Structure 1
Amino acid sequence: MAGEFFTIDGPGGVGKSTVTAAVALELRTIGVAVCQTREPSDTPLGLLARNGTDTYRGMAMACLIAADRYAHLDEEIRPALARGETVVCDRYIASSLVLQVLDGVNVDVVWELNRHADMPDVAVILNARTDVIETRLTSRGAHSRYERDPGSTARECAAFREAATFLMAAGVRVLQLDASNEGPAAVASAVVAAVRGPWMKGNS
């Protein structure tokens, strides 16, 4: 039986990676076989994208990210789903609809590059107040030029709300959560409760 596919996206500094790890741990605790992964992937292609944000921009970066996504699907995500595992991925298409659009690529072009990718069963989008995220970024430091750009947090927060609307219009089930006042464990529990509960049977 095929497994389920969940993605977790949101602005830099909102806590995606920590929440992804917490979701995977909570699912394993209740007996679910989990494949925890991330994008860009940890393959040579993914590492080129991850480490190349200062080198590649615009359409070049959009194509690089999309290429890594399709390879990631072939090499890790689909095989895990075929084994019946639940895949939890830190960043997916929602991040492309934000970062590549902020990088100057038209949203329709970004969607065309990615629309042939497998859509998740649930696309979780975390967001938070701008001041909360900026405090976290100051504490941990910026990881890329996207986070170093002045005013990037406010733009990303707004863009992720737009990406959620875009994905829902495309028929993707989206769960939006505010991480302003909750720690990663509480947010992860909310994600697990949603994707394992009645919400999956008809709400979006």
Structure 2
Amino acid sequence: MTAPAAERLPGTLITLDGPGGVGKSTTAHQMTAALTMIDLPVHATAQPSQAALGELARHGTDIYQDMALACLCAADRHHQLDTEILPALREGAIVVCDRYVASSLVLQGLDGLPAELVWQLNHGVYQPDLAVILTGDPHIIAARLRARGGHSRFERAEDNSDKETALYVHAEAELRARGWPVTTLDATAEPSDTIAARIVSHVHQVLKGNNPACL
């Protein structure tokens, strides 16, 4: 059952977003390992989820576009919140989620959908305790993406990194305007383990009751 918008649960939700190839999954893995090593309860997850809805969204970007894909991603997010993320937060875990609403604002924006529509589809989602946006030099990100290979039609587009990087600037502004605590880090200027360590430091500030976006 979805938590009321004003209800804050015992756990801590940390989300990571950013252009394809920026290093979200690697950073999330390193963060999880670092937090686990100091005996903090961590639940690592990702969006799209591993549920049936998430698999459709992950593997169906060539089939589903525009409003269809936006609805699919939002439905998967609501379902994952109810069945996985909120239960973990109620148990007091630190939930590290690879992609969240910012990714929808950007990817659905690439399909031409307005941000307000994306927010409407995601109405009632749980606000993170810290939303991290990884960004950086789009040329470096594009090179990483070429080396890794694109996972979706968005990532296979030649100008994807430039477009995504630009749209994440707008996504950050959208989150801040709605009162979400946001920290943006350049993931191309330092090694991924250093970026992960910076985020872990921010997580400690969150756990102490400080907002790293205001430090």
TM-score interval, normalised by the smaller of the two chains: over 0.9
1:168 matched to 2:200? The reply is no
CA positional deviation for 1:150: 2.0
1:27 matched to 2:38? The reply is no
Q: How does the TM-score come out when normalised to structure 1?
A: 0.97
Determine the structure 2 residue equivalent to 1:191.
199
Determine the structure 1 residue equivalent to 2:139.
131
**Alpha-carbon distance in structure 1 between the residues aligned to 2:101 and 2:211:** 22
**Alpha-carbon distance in structure 1 between the residues aligned to 2:19 and 2:202:** 21
**Alpha-carbon distance in structure 2 between the residues aligned to 1:31 and 1:184:** 22
1:122 matched to 2:130? The reply is yes
SS of the aligned residue for 1:197 comes to helix
1:94 matched to 2:102? The reply is yes
CA shift digits 1:10-66 (9 cap, x unpaired):
000000000011111111011111000000000111101101000000000000000
Contact kept, 8 Å, 1:194 with 1:200, in 2: the verdict is no
Amino acid at match of 1:26: A
**Alpha-carbon distance in structure 1 between the residues aligned to 2:16 and 2:122:** 16
Amino acid at match of 2:73: I
SS of the aligned residue for 1:20 comes to helix
Determine the structure 2 residue equivalent to 1:54.
62
How many residues are treated as equivalent by the alignment? Answer: 204
SS of the aligned residue for 1:105 comes to coil
Amino acid at match of 2:84: E
1:40 matched to 2:43? The reply is no
**Alpha-carbon distance in structure 1 between the residues aligned to 2:195 and 2:78:** 29
SS of the aligned residue for 1:56 comes to coil
Unaligned stretches of 5+ residues in structure 2: 1-8
Unaligned stretches of 5+ residues in structure 1: none
**Alpha-carbon distance in structure 1 between the residues aligned to 2:13 and 2:20:** 22
Amino acid at match of 2:19: P
Compute the RMSD of aligned alpha carbons.
1.3
**Alpha-carbon distance in structure 2 between the residues aligned to 1:173 and 1:112:** 20
1:12 matched to 2:20? The reply is yes
Determine the structure 2 residue equivalent to 1:140.
148
Q: 1:29 to 1:69 in 2, by over 3 A?
A: same
Q: How does the TM-score come out when normalised to structure 2?
A: 0.92
Determine the structure 2 residue equivalent to 1:201.
210
Determine the structure 2 residue equivalent to 1:177.
185
